[in-house]
Amino acid sequence: MTKNSDVAILILAAGKGTRLKSSLAKVLHCAGGRPLVEHVVRACVAVRPKKIVVVVGHQAEKVQAVVEPLDVETVLQQPQNGTGHALLVARRVIGNAKYLLVLPGDAPLVRPETLKALIQKHKNGQAAATILTAVLADPSGYGRILRKGGEAVAAIIEESQLTAEQRELNEINSSIYCFTAAKLWPALAEVKPNNRHREIYLTDAIGVLNAKGETVLAEIAADSREMLGCNTRGDLAEVDHAFRERKREELMRDGVTIQLPETVLVDPDVVVGEDTVIEPCVQLLGKTKIGMRCVVKTGCVVYDSVLGDGVVLEPHCVITESRIDAEVIAGPFARMRPESHVKRGAKIGNFVELKKSTVGEGSKVPHLSYVGDTKIGKKSNIGAGTITCNYDGFQKYPTIIGSKVFIGSDSALVAPVKLGDGAYVAAGSTITENVPADALGIARGRQVNKKGWASKKRRELAAWEKTKKHSKTRH
Ligand code: UD1
Ligand code: MG
């Protein structure tokens, strides 16, 4: 991968984002599973420039917390007096790279290849500035490119300053530019805050460069969607949509089947193996990794979890921070809370909740159970409705269930408690003491059958109803 060691990159991320009507700074809003500004920084890192500087201002500390782990420098712009002002504030930190690539923090769909092509075009054209543009059917909300004819640009006109004729212009400024630093700084020094907001607009530097006889070029982006800026909630939804589509296409290219893809939401770091099938309305989130030949059925939500090969998630499972090994079948309606580990070939059935528990190879928890702070060995069978009582209102306690254990339905295991290998628990037991290996634990009242009790009861009832009727007619 070629380096661009003569290029410094500046990302403008100090603005508030008034049009979003939010208490959160605009560049911190998420689309495609990441804050907007993080997408932009990642695209820039792939360009391998000399340095990346992010201008922060509104909620500076929060923005810094997102970008600094990505190995960038930040500079504080306070107050935020416009995009041109942001450059002036950052000038010292940017240093003396020959070229300066400028990007807004709110246009996150841009790809590294597009940025590299822009830099190349700028260098080849020996321009003072090269602007990345897009031709849009609806250009409203953006600054417009005023061409001189041919490739050259005369000026960028902000929407608020468009004349009636200029409203027809449909080539927009993406706010992504490559400048030759030595030409930019003197031009920017001449820009005055001649607008309604009294801000120094970077866009006005283009007109100044043109007036000085410098070359300003524009490159129309091949995919205009990459230029989408996020000024409104509607823009955010559109950008999120585009990211999600990109991710799904990437997975499909890698051999994953996705049914009704537009209903499936996958975060950017998720990995899915070949021949896995994802049914409609599934969400794969965070750092989830899914193996090969899995089936993730409709309505499942998987967050920060790892699934081995050949796992089947029946509909509507919610899996969080858990490990599911190969060939496991889970659901429908299974819930795995953090630190659950279901080992190879095990089965977790409907309406089963696991928390911080390990289910050993080939073991089954098929129906209606709560299993918390528990270790289950191999090939055990946990009957319907079994509950581990792991909490006494103060503390959590562990339950240890060995291998080949059989627990009858509707048993309560009061922790801390241990069931040895091969033990049985009689259905309906409330187990409060350990059950040794190969023993039967039975902990419930003995059954007594009372002969004829039911028919006697029915006779009594019939007699009682009769007297009730009589007393009504008398009243
Ligand atoms: C800007 C451009 C417009 C372009 C559009 C593309 C200007 C004057 N206009 O308009 O031509 O079509 O982007 O999306 O540049 N920012 C700062 N400091 C400031 C002001 C803004 O860092 O003082 C940052 C914002 O956080 C944002 C970016 O600069 O990330 C652009 O600002 P924004 O207010 O979104 O400008 P637009 O109105 O979209
Ligand atoms: Mg914007």
Q: SS in 3 state form for 155-185?
A: EEECHHHCCCCHHHCCEEEEEEEEEEHHHHH
Q: Give the integer Cα–Cα distance in Å for 97 and 52.
A: 11
Radius of gyration of the chain (CA): 33
Nearest partner of 136 among 162, 110, 172, 102, judged by Cα: 172
Q: Give the integer Cα–Cα distance in Å for 37 and 74.
A: 12
What is the reported pLDDT for 471? Answer: 83
Residue 149: Cβ within 10 Å count: 6
Name the residue at shortest CA distance from atom 31 of ligand 1: 104
Confidence of residue 475 (pLDDT cuts 50, 70, 90): low
Is the per-residue pLDDT at 318 higher than 90? Answer: yes
For residue 112, say if its preceding peptide bond is cis, omega within 30 degrees of 0: no
> Could you identify the atom of ligand 1 that is nearest to the CA of residue 55?
22
Of all helices (H) and strands (E), which one includes residue 89?
helix 83-94
316 catalytic, yes or no? no
DSSP-derived secondary structure letter, 263: G
Distance from Cα 353 to the centre of ligand 1, integer Å: 48
What is the reported pLDDT for 230? Answer: 95
Nearest partner of 376 among 420, 324, 332, judged by Cα: 420
102, 61 Cβ separation under 8 angstroms: no
24, 59 Cβ separation under 8 angstroms: yes
Distance from Cα 126 to the centre of ligand 2, integer Å: 28
192, 119 Cβ separation under 8 angstroms: no
CA count, 13 A, side-chain hemisphere, 338: 1
Of all helices (H) and strands (E), which one includes residue 459?
helix 453-474
Q: Amino acid identity of 172?
A: I
> Could you identify the atom of ligand 1 that is nearest to the CA of residue 58?
26
Among residues 58, 197, 316, 367, which one is catalytic? 367
Q: Which residues of 68-96 are buried (b: 16+ CB within 10 A; e: fewer)?
A: eeeebebbebeebbbbbbbbbbbbebbee
First to last CA, the chain: 100
For residue 186, say if its preceding peptide bond is cis, omega within 30 degrees of 0: no
> Could you identify the atom of ligand 1 that is nearest to the CA of residue 15?
26
Ligand 1 and 55: CB distance under 6 A: yes
Kindly report the pTM of this predicted structure: 0.92
Q: Looking at the CA of 102, which ligand is closest?
A: 1
Mean pLDDT of 18-22: 93
For 441-453, what is each residue's pLDDT tens digit?
999 999 999 999 9
Is the per-residue pLDDT at 470 higher than 90? Answer: no
Q: Amino acid identity of 450?
A: K
Confidence of residue 103 (pLDDT cuts 50, 70, 90): very high
Ligand 1 and 139: CB distance under 6 A: no
CA angle 211, 214, 220 (to 5 degrees): 100
Confidence of residue 271 (pLDDT cuts 50, 70, 90): very high
Distance from Cα 50 to the centre of ligand 2, integer Å: 26
Q: Could you tell me the two tokens for 31? A: 């689309």
